[in-house]
Amino acid sequence: MSREIILDTETTGLDAQAGDRIIEIAAIELLNGSVTTNNFHCYINPERDIPDSAFRVHGISFDMVADKPVFSGIVDQFMDFVGDDPIVAHNAEFDLKFINCELQKIGRPPISGERVVDTLALARKKHPGASNSLDALCTRYGVDRSRRVKHGALIDAEILAEVYIELRGGRQTSLSLQVRKEIRKAEFTGGMTERPRPLPSRVTETSEASHSTLIETLGANPFWRRYRDPVNVGEAVAE
């Protein structure tokens, strides 16, 4: 079973090396390319102020997270949820840098970049020269982003999950699989489809009696007797 983790964070600013910290983190589980109800989400006390410039982006003030756990208080739960599975993020370098800075502060090993899938890089490769922001991808793939009034880790992760599925051919792939199933079914049935109810027989009792009389004149074990006798129909078809 293929498991992937869709990840997003909100932070106090843009520079982890300069002391900006994570204030919200969300991770959503994908199994075999489908979103499950299993997710990880929490707000984090960054142990520092949240500038107005950041607040205008995500709407999270320090008062809102003052009573939340610090990163070291949620790290075990977060790492257990993520496990060793691939991590998917938009502009993944940003999120990974912040998470690894937090891990470094508490003496934990970093998450390897080799296990991270960057949807921004995927989109740029698939749509070169076009805008590939999350909003632009939502527009391109018809993903509803109306609930995204401000940035939020959980909302953005949910939206990114839909975008990621589309980037991998999501709806088109599902349609293609369905078409292939129908083709295989048609090949197996000789192109015929089953009726929900069988049509009523048009054979009258007189016709059936005449046909039985004819069969009796064909010898001791005529081939047509197998089709007339329901017990032998399976044997006749098998041959």
How far is 57 from 21, CA to CA, in rounded Å? 15
Provide the sign of the torsion angle of the four alpha carbons 174, 177, 183, 186, taken in this order.
Answer: negative
Q: Please, how many CA atoms are within 13 Å of residue 160, restricted to the half-sphere of its CB?
A: 33
- Give the chain's radius of gyration (CA, Å): 31
Least Cα distance to 162 among 40, 35, 39 occurs for: 35
Residue 172 structure tokens: 């088109």
Strand boundaries in the chain, DSSP class E: 3-11, 22-31, 34-43, 87-89, 116-118
Residue 151 annotated among the catalytic residues of the structure: yes
Rounded distance, CA 142 to CA 11, Å?
28
Residue 12 near residue 20, CB atoms below 8 Å? yes
Instruction: Report whether 40 contacts 13 (CB < 8 A).
Output: no
The single residue of 41, 90, 127, 151 carrying the catalytic annotation is 151
Annotated catalytic residues are 151
